[in-house]
Chain A
Amino acid sequence: MSRTSIPIVVRIQTDDFESGAEIAALTDGRTDIGAVVSFTGLCRDDGEILKSLELEHYPGMAEAQIRQIAEEAATRWPLHGLLAIHRYGHIAPGEQIVLVAATSSHRQAAFDGANFLMDYLKTEAPFWKKEHLKDGSSGEWVSAKDSDDQARKRWEKG
């Protein structure tokens, strides 16, 4: 895969992030960017039973895998920059888990780039979620969804 020259920022961290500041940094000093598309994933609790999600990752591979996905996105669309921040550790309902952003001259490439990066991140980046419940019990490991695999497959070149 050829290396692209666009800035690609990948961070795996326990700390929370400030979406506004992160997105502002992508466009700071730039006059060629016409579109920024970002996605923020939050910890959801459908039944009010969840105390936290524990996010586990494979250090090293997680960063490398996301960077590889971002490099691929940059070969497919005319992007100016890509950003992915993914947290690990214990994350409470309502807190942020992941931020993905793509910048481009025009909106369609930015939408597609962010969408692609997110779909591949969910199915290819080595992260796992375990539920911890309010009643003190340790819940289940979250199962991978077929719908996530389907979402990824629509980007495959035929």
Chain B
Amino acid sequence: MVKLVYFAWVRERLGKSSEEIELPAETKTVSDLLSHLAGRGEAYAELMEHRNAIRVAIDQEHADHDEPIGQASEIALFPPMTGG
């Protein structure tokens, strides 16, 4: 099981701030994860139309889309940061 956490418009589009899901064994990279999520329903599919704009953090460290997920316990999906 991996905990997914969502922020800003990612959270709003999915209508939830977190969930725990089981990932198929072939889901190796961040990109695989995004593709897997796209198949989970309409809201996910629509969100993934913007997948290039989605940033990812694995266990609270920024990760590129081609990075392996490994044994991550928490993966966050969010838009580009706009703090400051």
Identify the A interface with B (CB < 8 A): 41, 55-58, 60-62, 64-65, 86, 97-98, 118, 121-130, 141-144, 148
Q: A46 to B74: give the CA distance in the assembly, Å.
A: 38
Are A141 and B7 CB-contacts (below 8 A) given A60-B60, A61-B60, A121-B84?
no
Q: CB-CB < 8 A to B7: which residues of A? A: 56, 58, 126, 128
Q: CB-CB < 8 A to A121: which residues of B? A: 83-84
B57 within 8 A of A: yes
Instruction: List 10 A-B pairs, minimum CB-CB distance, nearest first.
Output: A127-B83, A144-B80, A128-B8, A122-B84, A61-B60, A142-B82, A129-B82, A141-B9, A125-B83, A121-B84
B3 within 8 A of A: no
Are A128 and B84 CB-contacts (below 8 A) given A56-B7, A60-B60, A61-B60?
no
Q: CB-CB < 8 A to A124: which residues of B? A: 62, 81
Identify the B interface with A (CB < 8 A): 5, 7-9, 57, 60, 62, 76, 78-84
Q: A127 to B7: give the CA distance in the assembly, Å.
A: 9
Q: CB-CB < 8 A to A55: which residues of B? A: 83
Are A58 and B57 CB-contacts (below 8 A) given A126-B7, A126-B78?
yes
